[in-house]
Amino acid sequence: MQLLDGKLISHQIKTEIALHVREKLLDAGLAAPHIAAVLVGEDPASQTYVAAKEKSCREVGFLSSVYRYPDNITEKQLLKVVDFLNNDPEIDGFIVQLPLPKHINEQKIIERINPVRDIDGFHPVNIGKMVLGLPCFLPATPFGIVTLLERGGVETAGKHCVVLGRSHIVGTPISILLSRKSTHGNATVTLCHSFTPDLTKYTREADILIVAMGKPDCITKEMVKPGAVVIDVGVHRVPSEETKSGYRLKGDVKFDEVSRVCSRITPVPGGVGPMTIVSLLQNALKASQKEIK
């Protein structure tokens, strides 16, 4: 088994982006890309993600701003924040970190974002363009997965990809990207979800298994075809006495046993997570170059 090392590949891409920022933008007297994140409430996972995005921005020479609000912010007030960021001439693109508090309609907030600044690729205009194969912002996690497969030397054309989970953020878009007629597509895709009977029947058929179920340790070695490529999108905090923070991260896949039967696997942490962040940086660069209209 060989690791599909998201930490390494994301580092290579960040080095390329940093070089671009320095040589093509700053040295030419142009501004560095500037992105913003809106963070509502105190959700620890969201805070960690936003902090990681800020750190990555600094590393490549982007500017980043974080707009923090308490979780009692009203929907109307949050829509005003989105309007402000849609029009701020200093900003190239922005994200609203999800999940939002229950009293706020997430879809309404997403639909208010100007699609040319929607570097998360969640706006229906960007999703529609993705389905049609038109230039657009791709959602960061699926974009990160296809980049990881491509740069990791995993061919998708003609392969059977089985995707577990149909969320708007991961499962649905990755199934579309992998089946598209394009360089990192041309796969036959099966999308499984909570209504799929006998999951193992499908997972055992997968050349490439993409797991985005949101359930820790749910994929065992019996569910994986020997030699398959396994992409674990799950991130779960579990208590641990071995770390200073008192917790450690684990994925949806039982890494220790599945890594003995598959050919390639993404670790958690250090697999899909860093690829998601670097994809956001790639989208931010596109936004600053006004590539998406």
Q: Is 97 a catalytic residue?
A: yes
| Residue 140 engages ligand GUN in binding (rule: CB under 6 A) | yes
Indicate the residue whose CB is closest to ligand GUN.
98
The answer to whether 97 contacts ligand GUN (rule: CB under 6 A) is yes
Kindly tell me which of 162 and 277 has the beta carbon lying closer to ligand GUN: 277
Distance CA 137, CA 123 (A): 9
| Contact status, residue 205 vs residue 162, Cβ threshold 8 Å | yes
Active-site residue flag, 120: yes
98 binds ligand GUN (CB under 6 A): yes
Phi, psi of 72 (to 5 degrees): -95, 10
- CA 167/CA 256 separation, integer angstroms: 26
In the complex, what is the shortest distance from the CB of residue 57 to ligand GUN, in angstroms, rounded to a whole number?
15
Cβ–Cβ under 8 Å, residues 143 and 279 = yes
Which residue of 169, 176, 258, 287 would you call a contact of ligand GUN, by CB under 6 A?
Answer: 169
> Is the CB of 140 or the CB of 145 nearer to ligand GUN?
140
**Pairing relation of β-strands 188-192 and 208-211?**
unpaired
Q: Looking at 10, 56, 64, 141, which residue binds ligand GUN (CB under 6 A)?
A: 141
Active site residue 53: yes
Contact pick of 92, 120, 207, 232 for ligand GUN (by CB under 6 A): 120
Q: How far apart are CA 102 and CA 51, in angstroms?
A: 23
Report in angstroms how near the CB of residue 120 gets to ligand GUN at its nearest: 5
DSSP one-letter string for 145-164: HHHHHHHTT---TT-EEEEE
CB of 184 to ligand GUN, least distance (A): 19
| Kind of pairing between the strands at 93-96 and 34-40 | parallel
Q: Which is nearer to ligand GUN, 52 or 63 (CB)?
A: 52
| Pairing of the two strands 247-250 and 208-211 | unpaired
End-to-end CA distance of the chain: 43
Identify the active-site residue in 53, 129, 159, 254.
53
User: Catalytic amino acids?
Assistant: 53, 97, 120
Q: Which residues of this protein are in contact with ligand GUN, per CB under 6 A?
A: 95-98, 120, 140-141, 169, 276
